[in-house]
Chains A and B, each alone.
Chain A
Amino acid sequence: KQEVTQIPAALSVPEGENLVLNCSFTDSAIYNLQWFRQDPGKGLTSLLLIQSSQREQTSGRLNASLDKSSGRSTLYIAASQPGDSATYLCAVLLSSNDYKLSFGAGTTVTVRA
């Protein structure tokens, strides 16, 4: 069974600081890994998708790395802003034969103005 862990559970930083969010998974034979953002009471917004053959993906201030051999992914958010305050979730997909995502518990980020 795939176990996904996110550390830390919560993070509070001043505006402008860089954010580093960690995700680890127990089964390295993943198909892809996806990072999501969730605002309170809302659905999940996809941030970055990393296929198993890729080492990183970038979108604007966001960069996500993937190290399958060690079972780790890291999401970097540069120059944080108060609008980045949200819960960030990582999810792994083991197989393309069915779309069952295994989620971490998330990291709740607060960016102080």
Chain B
Amino acid sequence: KAGVTQTPRYLIKTRGQQVTLSCSPISGHRSVSWYQQTPGQGLQFLFEYFSETQRNKGNFPGRFSGRQFSNSRSEMNVSTLELGDSALYLCASSEGASGAYFGPGTRLTVT
């Protein structure tokens, strides 16, 4: 099976802009979760989707949003970018008790 894919791999944006990141899970996996990784805060949970429904959300401002499509692909959007949003954004795919499988991440740099 193909692994988790994330696009784009790298992004450079300017403060105030918005960005959309995409994640395609492993075939058959219905859960997609998103994490932000920074040197100072480590890995922090953003939100999780299962069969197009958000089941849980982390402690992030409303500028961070996401959605999931019927084919389980997921997108996350960050509006009004701030310098502090620069991070590695990781998505994970899971199904049942199989454990989580992560994609390669999207490196976002906000200037």
Name A residues whose Cβ lies closer than 8 Å to a Cβ of B: 31-32, 34, 36, 41-46, 49, 51, 89, 91, 93, 96-106
Find chain A residues with CB under 8 A from B50 CB.
Answer: 98-99
Q: Which of B62-111 contact A (CB under 8 A)?
A: 88, 90, 92, 94, 96-105, 107
Query: Which of A43, A96, A104 counts the most chain B CB atoms within 10 A?
Result: A43
Question: CB of B42 within 8 A of chain A?
Answer: yes
| Alpha-carbon gap, A93 to B31, bound state (A) | 14
Q: How far is the CA of A97 from the CA of B35 in the complex (A)?
A: 18
Residue in A49, A98, A105 whose beta carbon sits within 8 Å of that of B99 in the complex: A49
Total contacting residues, chain B, CB less than 8 A: 28
Q: Could you say which of B42, B45, B56, B104 contacts A43, with CB atoms under 8 Å apart? A: B104
Contact status B45-A100, CB under 8 Å: yes
**Does A46 lie within 8 Å of B100, measured CB to CB?**
yes
Q: Does B43 contact A (CB under 8 A)?
A: yes
Q: Which residues of A contact B105 (CB under 8 A)?
A: 42-43
Shortest 6 CB-CB contacts between residues of A and residues of B = A98-B55, A49-B99, A44-B102, A103-B43, A98-B56, A43-B104
Chain A contacts of B4 at CB under 8 A? 43
For window 33-73 of chain B, which residues contact chain A by CB distance below 8 Å? 33, 35, 42-43, 45, 48, 50, 55-56, 58
